Structure 1
């Protein structure tokens, strides 16, 4: 009984370490003797977008650098793009009296920035905050603040 059990266990161990190998075969009677094999891989879409940090606008500055939106890394599908949209009400609000405001725009070059699309790493948009001299002249003293929201999305082109 011990011999039968030992033989059975040895056979099970030998069968458990065998590995099945798959390979293309060439028939020796075929001409030409070639086989095509396919190599595949898959890369998941990934991207990194840098957006401007908090900024302090100096009094009477009609144009202040707001930094840049930059795609620092991107592996995206050929039919997709990265969209960055900016949302703001365009007013700096006095922290004591919300009825006192200073209007401003966020610009990319000479035009107001609302959104842009990007396809590759290294693409960027430089932004500025612009306040007219007339708006500075009519502003009340005090601290002003506003929040700008950036929405980043991965969309079809």
Structure 2
């Protein structure tokens, strides 16, 4: 983490509508803290599941996947086969992946999502968007916000898991 204030205390981020600033701040803060946490985390520990908790690798993959899926739903799109395949593999152990590779995947999804945010019309915030095969009701704003809050939630779980693993 940097010594700078948290993103929400740095003022507006250029290129994003005011309505979306909290979403941008939350994603950038999580990204910054995830990088700091995982900077020297050994790749061979990525799939450890202390006390049956989800592994660090799962959290990193899941955060990237949720961000991607929420972006698709916010545009009223169905998930692609590759998104379904990614979802199925989020928790499947893959010892070939490194911490760095998972951070690159995360960064790519965050960058893609931020680009989407920068081009989303704030007037669409309350527009209906169906979610999943069951077509559950949400809105553009609900999906965009969920990407940020879900990221924060899983970062918290990742933080605890990593601390427990490193203390073992």
- TM normalised by structure 2 equals 0.27
Q: Which has the higher contact order (CA 8 A, sep 6+)?
A: 2
Bigger share in helix: 2
Structure number with bigger Rg: 1
